[in-house]
Amino acid sequence: MTSCRPEYKKEMSTLQGSLVALVTPMKAEPPHELDVEALKRLVEWHIGEGTDAIVATGTTGESPTLTCREWETVVSICVGVAAGRVAVIAGTGTNCTATSVEKTKRAQELGADAALVVTPYYNKPTQAALVEHYRTIAAAVPDFPIITYNVPGRTACDLLPETIAKIATEAQNVIGNKEASGNFERFKAQRKLLGPAFRIFSGEDCQSCEAMLAGACDGVISVTSNIVPRQMHYMCQLALRGDREKAKQIDGQLMGLHKNLFCEPNPTASKWLLAELGRIPPGIRLPLLPLSACYHDTVRNALKEAQNAQVPVERVCVLRKEQPDLGALRHVPVSDENNA
């Protein structure tokens, strides 16, 4: 098994800023196959625009619709294109502990820098069961960073701050949590219980600026950054520096996107806007449908407002400056098992 890269074992402990919850590009015509070339270009664009990390195969990446082979392909492509310049975090959580263990092991083998592990959906485990679930996953990959993910609106399962603290105490490689409960007080409670070293990320774009300004979170795993990555990166840097006036000004111009990208279930609006911008094809898989026409002008107007935000031309500091040979990434090593 490949260990996470040594430089990132340290780097993940200080990860902050705008982490994109990356969409998965799919071709326009059914069955909406993966568009590998569009994915490569998308990751490269994000790095150039200042995105601080790539979070692949999560909710926004339509992970429930990806086969095992497709999931491996997406993770491998993101790792290959990033080439050490930014961290790649793979979504590996399922509602089966054993399956989550195997996916997390595979993410490490594929070279991801960490795993984002959502709470088990549909099963409705107790808090004690959640501790055992995450402890089991963490024990299977003791040198691989894990970020828990709480999104009760989708999972019918709420990971409480005290439970996160217990998990992190018992599993040293659980380094952070993505909090998407919509409850702002959760950020403060987690910071109080877990201290400044534990990575806390907002899963709600519209709350992220205020949470960073309050010192209660370290960044955002962002849907909005799919569309305007440079603006999101800049807003996060301002907020983390404590520049309230400028951060709130930029965030105010982004608020239309923060809210209207969820006019229909995510990632419907994000994929439609990216297709409008020519960055990906318009493919989206059932059980989701393309964005309803009645919302087109709403999200277009939100985009215009966000694009008006004045941000400097800047890049993030990266560990490796060289751009990889994207053509060399055509053949991605994936497992032949569980191709369903």
Parse the chain into domains and list their residue ranges.
6-245
Q: Please state whether beta strands 114-118 and 87-91 pair in parallel, antiparallel, or not at all (unpaired).
A: parallel
If we measure between CA atoms, which residue out of 155, 112, 113 comes closest to residue 133? 155
- Yes or no: say if 149 and 116 are a contact pair by the CB < 8 Å rule: yes
Structure tokens at 216: 């209660």
Q: Active site residue: 40, 178, 234, 271, which one? A: 178
**Cα(212)–Cα(26) distance, rounded to whole angstroms?**
33
Check residue 324 and give its pLDDT. 53
- Yes or no: say if 57 and 75 are a contact pair by the CB < 8 Å rule: yes
State yes or no: is 149 an active-site residue.
yes
- Is 221 known to sit in a ligand binding site? yes
Flag whether the pTM goes above 0.85: yes
Check residue 340 and give its pLDDT. 32
- The residues pairing with 90 across neighbouring beta strands, listed in sequence order, are 56, 115
Measured CA distances, 163 to 19, 42, 124, 135 (Å)? 24, 36, 15, 11
Structure tokens at 298: 């709403």
Domain 6-245 has CATH 3.20.20.70: yes
Check residue 13 and give its pLDDT. 80
Check residue 335 and give its pLDDT. 39
Nearest-5° angle of CA 18, CA 24, CA 30?
160
Q: Active site residue: 8, 40, 103, 149, which one? A: 149
Query: Which residues of the chain carry a pLDDT beneath 50?
Result: 1-9, 315-322, 330-340
